[in-house]
Amino acid sequence: MRWFRFYDDAVNDPKVQLLNGNLFKLWVNILCIASKCGGVLPTETDIAFMLRMPENKVRQSLEELIASGLLDKVKSGLAPHNWNQRQFVSDNSAERVKRHRAKRAASGLQSQWTAPKDLRWEVYKRDGFECVYCGAEDELSLDHKTPEMRGGTHDPSNLQTVCRSCNASKRDLTHEEFVSRNVTSRFLKPPQNTESEQNQSKAEEAPSARRTPRDELSLVLDDERTKAVIEHRQRIRKPLTAYAAKQLAKQFAACPDPNLAADTMIANGWQGVKPEWLESRQTRAGPPAPNAAFVKRMEEQVARERSYSGPDQAVSAKPD
């Protein structure tokens, strides 16, 4: 399927707006045919076949469009007015990719580099599974702090986690250049302290400060379980974001013993936990409750056997 440009100034063009309904429809179809044929219309016979119209009707309609100034006579036939100026050929994604790969090849680089899965996971985990610039947690990708075209390597120290939006904005800038150009931009998240500095200033943090998964879980779990839950979610390749940790903390809080619920979740390889899951497992783990009617029948049977044998005689296990 081929695309062509249809400009919005047609709504203000008197040549177009003065056409009757049938002629306007024909004009739009003529534009489609011109697009298929490289900007020049085929013969009247071919147009009649494409539009399923009588040839004499096509000839009459084309003459009306010529008189209206919407079709021009050119050396090779008829063409929509001003077609070559408006339907210019622009580059497409395929051409841009081709130029990009040629540029990489000229620099001695492979046409495309795909990060190994383990390396990608290592960098994501190191950066907390969020964009180092804006803190976004969706549509993450790897970025070179110093671009390959400028001598950057694939070493983890030169890789960072960024979202697609920041990656597209950074383009071929270095990390330092991008930061210096966006000091007041939405692209930069607040500076992150080290873990020790965070622990020292935790009590002084403003309520609006960015919370971590550890902060959310520690509200309902002890430190040991908090660390274990975070490691468990990373181990099953379902790392926690701050929002996901907040939802998980609500699940733990709904259980009678949040710490026990965390232990059960980890032991069973679950992503989360619900109170009814714990109750269900406890019911299955214990012995089944005795049936009251069955117990009553057994008691009656023992009573009958005792009355038959006499009060002082024991009921033998096997008949003589």
Same domain, 153 and 82: no
Residue 110 to residue 125: CA distance in whole angstroms = 27
Same domain, 152 and 222: no
User: What pLDDT was estimated at residue 292?
Assistant: 60
Same domain, 185 and 217: no
Residue recorded with tokens 């890789």: 159
Same domain, 12 and 58: yes
Residue 123 to residue 167: CA distance in whole angstroms = 15
Same domain, 13 and 76: yes
User: What pLDDT was estimated at residue 206?
Assistant: 45
Average pLDDT for 52-79:
90
Q: Which of 171, 212, 178, 176 is nearest to 193 (CA)?
A: 212
Residue recorded with tokens 């012995």: 287
Specify the DSSP element, H or E, that contains 73.
strand 71-74
Domain boundary among 142, 164, 191: 191
The model's confidence at residue 293, banded by pLDDT at 50, 70 and 90, is low
Same domain, 165 and 213: no
pTM higher than 0.85, yes or no? Answer: no
236 and 269 in contact (C-beta within 8 Å)?
yes
Same domain, 213 and 306: yes
The CATH number assigned to the domain holding 38 equals: 1.10.10.10
Domain boundary among 191, 222, 254: 191
The model's confidence at residue 57, banded by pLDDT at 50, 70 and 90, is very high
Same domain, 227 and 300: yes
The model's confidence at residue 60, banded by pLDDT at 50, 70 and 90, is very high
| 56 belongs to a structural domain | yes
Same domain, 221 and 299: yes
Same domain, 180 and 225: no
Beta bridge partners of 204: none
The model's confidence at residue 77, banded by pLDDT at 50, 70 and 90, is confident
Three-state DSSP state, 259: helix
What confidence tens digit (pLDDT) does each residue in 24-41 have?
Answer: 999 999 999 988 888 889
Is the pLDDT at 302 greater than 70? The verdict is no
Is the pLDDT at 191 greater than 60? The verdict is no
Number of domains into which the chain is organized: 3
Taking CA 62 as the corner, what is the angle to CA 61 and CA 67, rounded to the nearest 5 degrees? 95
- Enclosing domain of residue 176: 116-191
What confidence tens digit (pLDDT) does each residue in 120-166 have?
Answer: 899 999 988 888 888 888 888 899 999 887 888 889 999 999 988 88
Domain boundary among 161, 191, 221: 191
Three-state DSSP state, 143: strand
Q: What is the dihedral of CA 239, 242, 245, 247, to 10 degrees?
A: -130
User: What pLDDT was estimated at residue 84?
Assistant: 80
Same domain, 127 and 73: no
Three-state DSSP state, 253: helix
Q: Taking all residues of the chain, what is their mean pLDDT, rounded to a whole number?
A: 79
